[in-house]
Structure 1
């Protein structure tokens, strides 16, 4: 980490190591307009804002948000940093994601129950076949 205008700066390698991702991933987020590092020649120089955004991108991905959704939040924040609109948007996105996950959980629970039934029937039939073969 080097100092640039008294604000900490980071190289692509430092951020990649910190977040356990590849430099290629970071460059991809830059291509998508999610990060905008300064450049010194061919080198990218990331400030703390870029580092925080990278952390938010990765958190958003982990929560199942698309990069477009994350970008939309960044744009809302850039337009008005203390906007209720941004918070309301995030709440709506969270509610939608929760509804999708709840449905997926219900689907998985139902499938697990069906698998339990199939497994029980198979074991019962197998036990009957073995008893029939032994007798």
Structure 2
């Protein structure tokens, strides 16, 4: 089976990125495209890594955290270490988001009380 290669433009279009974004991820060491002369060529492995990178970003992980997860693929072929690290990070992210939600709920409640007080004062007798 022969490997299918993608150019910067092809991969960027497929994933809804800009070529500049792909080069950025390359400079951060998240992907390592091959070269055909001066042209960057991407493999299906690079494509899969980029999909994981984008998913990690959507979940709120930093590029450094994403790189750590991806680097574990090279260390542990069973992916056991990677899954343990990912699970711990997911749990921490969930806890942080729950804390943020609680803080937002409190702030909204305070704002609604202040709004009601302001409306009541406006509706009251004029002095």
Normalised to the residue count of structure 2, the TM-score between the two structures is 0.93
Paired residues, number? 127
Larger Rg: 1
1:10-61 deviations in Å (ceiling 9; x for gaps): 1111121122221111101101110000011221100000001001001101
Secondary structure of the 1:122 match is helix
Q: Which residue of 2 aligns with 1:89?
A: 85
Identify the residue that residue 33 of structure 2 maps to in structure 1: 37
Determine whether 1:103 maps to 2:99. yes
Flag as ranges the 4+ runs of structure 1 deviating above 3 A.
none
Q: Does residue 121 of structure 2 align to residue 125 of structure 1?
A: yes
Structure number with the higher strand fraction is: 1
Residue of structure 1 equivalent to 2:69: 73
Q: CA deviation at 1:63?
A: 0.5
The residue number in structure 1 matching 2:108 is 112
Any stretches of 5+ residues in structure 2 without a counterpart?
Answer: none
Alignment RMSD, CA only? 1.4
Structure 1 regions of 5+ residues with no counterpart?
none
For residue 12 of structure 1, what is the aligned residue in structure 2?
Answer: 8
**Structure 1 residue 50 corresponds to structure 2 residue 42:** no
Q: Distance in 1 between matches of 2:14 and 2:122?
A: 53
CA distance in 2, matches of 1:132, 1:115: 24
